[in-house]
Amino acid sequence: MSEDAVRLIPADEGSWRLEAYLRRGGYEAARKAVMSMAPADVITEVRKAGLRGRGGAGFPAGLKWSFVPQGGAGPKYLCVNADEGEPGTFKDRAILVRNPHQLIEGMTIAAFGVGIRKAFIYVRGEYGRIAGRLREAIAEAEDEGFLGGGIFGSGFDLEVIVHLGAGAYICGEETALLESIEGRRGQPRLKPPFPAVVGLFRAPTAINNVETLANVPLIIGRGADWFLGRGLPKDGGTRLFGVSGAVRRPGLYELPMGTQLRTIIEIHAGGPPEGVAIKAVIPGGLSAPALRPDELDVTMDFDALARAGSMLGSAGIIVIGDKIPILDVLKVMARFYAHESCGQCTPCRIGTSWIHKTVMRIGEGQGRASDLDHILRLADGMKGRTLCPMGDAAALPVQALVTKFRDELEKAVAR
């Protein structure tokens, strides 16, 4: 078995083409599912594999699919989240560019399991050119009967539509994504009802991240036990760890779930460049609370990072070197969330913009002694008081920076 066959990001030449994917054993898992498995068994196998969502929250994929009502005459939809807006994250791009057929195959298997005949792939607007390659892959798959009407000569059909976003981070939130596909502003919906019951065009809808779905052919093709063996006992598979910032070799590293954070940074990414020491590490995209250098001996999996007071999120690791003032990091963070708040809930709309103004004022040398506590209070006022998880996503990383690097920030305030 060639290693490329089980990689999410294969290294073979022209890896994105159908013929290359077929050489790696592509579409065998979908054939197996559609031709010889009962839909319910597909869902059971994915549940056994402990596949947790790679989009951020880590919700078990098979469990989520089981919430979609079985049977029924009305439409049901699958939405693929390729919005990839979380700063520090560039993994879904790599799958779309190097391995689009594995995503398509995963979609086919998921749709078969849940009884879905129409799927949307929501691609962020900035990936317009990448969406072009995805469309080519879809056309190739349709030509070969792997997608479209009567897949593998069976009675199962799946139509796939690529929908381009237009620049809005919040559209990565699953219900905002639905609004955006329906042609509206990307403003999150109140839950419940959950999309599995009332989703796209008011129909039951499964929503999954690109990386989540790209893992599905491996599970069906090789079995849940094999998949668990590639990761942790309850959290199977590998993870695409993106490393950027102060390291010698920024890039994407596909490693077992539960690999040590320090190992990824020091060994795989080569550690910080000559003369630079690590000041802080953001382990899972900008929304994941930062860790101090003495907190890096943590395994990179959902539960371990939650215990460490942070989150695995999108597994985008940002390494901050000691030459960068923490205030600069805080400025970027505060600006980002103030800019991206959709404005529906007062705590998020006001909180993010007030934090931003306060941070900018400190940056201009006009800081007040009470500013840091003020920021912490504003962040506290957002947590758990908003319609969507963005309120927390904006509050927690700000609080972590202010709490963990308080001494340095006090000096900036007093300047």
Ligand X SMILES: Cc1cc2nc3c(=O)[nH]c(=O)nc-3n(C[C@H](O)[C@H](O)[C@H](O)COP(=O)(O)O)c2cc1C
Residues contributing to the site for ligand X (CB under 6 A):
53-57, 59, 61, 81, 83-86, 170, 172-174, 207-209, 212, 388-390, 393
- Residue 372 DSSP code: H
88 binds, among ligand X, ligand SF4, other proteins, none (CB under 5 to 8 A by kind): other proteins
- Scan residues 188-217 and list those touching ligand SF4 (CB under 6 A): 188
Q: How far is CA 313 from the centre of its chain?
A: 7
According to CB under 8 A, which one of 53, 58, 85, 237 is a site residue for other proteins?
A: 85
- Choose the stretch contacting other proteins; rule: CB under 8 A; options: 51-59, 250-258, 300-308, 401-409: 250-258
Site string (189-218) toward other proteins, x via CB under 8 A: ------------x-----------------
Nearest C-alpha neighbor of 156 from the set 100, 213, 107: 107
Min dist. Cβ of residue 134 to other proteins (A): 14
By CB under 6 A, residue 395 contacts ligand SF4: no
* Binding site partner of 339, from ligand X, other proteins, ligand SF4, none, Cβ cut-off 5-8 A by kind: other proteins
* Residues numbered 167-186 forming contacts with other proteins, rule: CB under 8 A: 167-169, 180-186
Which one of 108-116, 158-166, 335-343, 371-379 is the stretch in contact with ligand SF4 (CB under 6 A)?
A: 335-343
- Nearest residue to 53 via CA among 307, 235, 254: 235
- CB 79, CB 110: distance < 8 Å: no
The pair of structure tokens assigned to 401 is 């920076």
Query: Tokens 């419940």, residue?
Result: 192
| Residues numbered 217-246 forming contacts with other proteins, rule: CB under 8 A | 242-246
* Contact between 116 and other proteins per CB under 8 A: no
175 binds ligand SF4 (CB under 6 A): no
Task: Please answer whether residues 252 and 238 qualify as being in contact, where contact means their C-beta atoms are separated by less than 8 angstroms.
Answer: no
Q: Find how far residue 7's CA is from the centre of its chain.
A: 18
Q: Is 159 in the site for other proteins (CB under 8 A)?
A: yes
Q: Facing residues of 318 across strands?
A: 244, 282
Question: 343-348: long-range contacts (C-beta < 8 A, 24 or more apart)?
Answer: 343/187, 344/187, 344/188, 344/387, 345/385, 345/386, 345/387, 345/391, 347/381, 347/382, 347/385, 347/386, 347/391, 348/382, 348/386, 348/390, 348/391, 348/394
List the one residue from 180, 205, 344, 353 that touches ligand SF4 (CB under 6 A). Answer: 344
